[in-house]
Amino acid sequence: DAGVTQSPTHLIKTRGQQVTLRCSPKSGHDTVSWYQQALGQGPQFIFQYYEEEERQRGNFPDRFSGHQFPNYSSELNVNALWLGDSALYLCASSLVGGQHEQYFGPGTRLTVT
Amino acid sequence: AQSVTQLGSHVSVSEGALVLLRCNYSSSVPPYLFWYVQYPNQGLQLLLKYTSAATLVKGINGFEAEFKKSETSFHLTKPSAHMSDAAEYFCAVSRGLRYSTLTFGKGTMLLVSP
């Protein structure tokens, strides 16, 4: 049973560029959430997708957008990258419902120069 | 609004000693609480979760946590630390009944010395 997978593992971008990160959820899961983890900090919630719609959103600007596909996989897009966007981006999958634990992927390390 | 406070950014123990990592939460409704562990350059791994079934929750790798409503606490313990326990530990509270999101504490780095 494959867990949550993310690609790429590492990414280096220049300020102003755009980036797309990808996530495949754990088999059987229908909900995908994205988190940003800055160095030395706990993960911060970006947004959550269920049934191909954004259901919850954290305090992140519109430069952060996402998508969920019919097979439940998801993308995170960030436009006009800032230096401050450098972080570990974590994808988590779960079943819909607050009592269900979220399973995390290994993350994508984004460096903006 | 729900939030989580982890007391102590770093905790140091000797191998074989008791591990105690502290977590306090604020929530207007009974929460769902989680402990995750993160090893260097890796994602988060679920240690255990509390969903109101039992106040003492046992997790993986010998960890357990006790939910105390009167103290709004959910501290993580392990009777005997092992070198492999050295990692960062995050307490999290789930917000939302249907579309739940996790709010994390700032994390506690556990250092284990021989």
Q: Is the pLDDT of residue A17 over 90?
A: yes
pLDDT at site B52: 77
Tokens of A65: 């957008």
**A99 closest CB neighbour out of B32, B101, B103:** B32
Measured CA angle at B24 (ends B20, B25), to 5 deg = 145
Dist CA A89 CA A84 (whole Å): 13
The answer to whether the CB atoms of A94 and B49 lie below 8 A apart is no
What pLDDT, in 10s, does the model give residues B21-55? 999 998 766 678 999 999 988 889 999 998 877 88
* Whether B57 contacts B78, CB under 8 Å: no
User: What radius of gyration, in Å, describes the C-alpha atoms of chain B?
Assistant: 14
Cβ-based neighbours of A62, under 8 Å, separated by 6 or more: none
The residues on A that touch B, with CB distances below 8 Å, are 4, 31, 33, 35, 41-45, 48, 50, 55-56, 58, 90, 92, 94, 96-107, 109
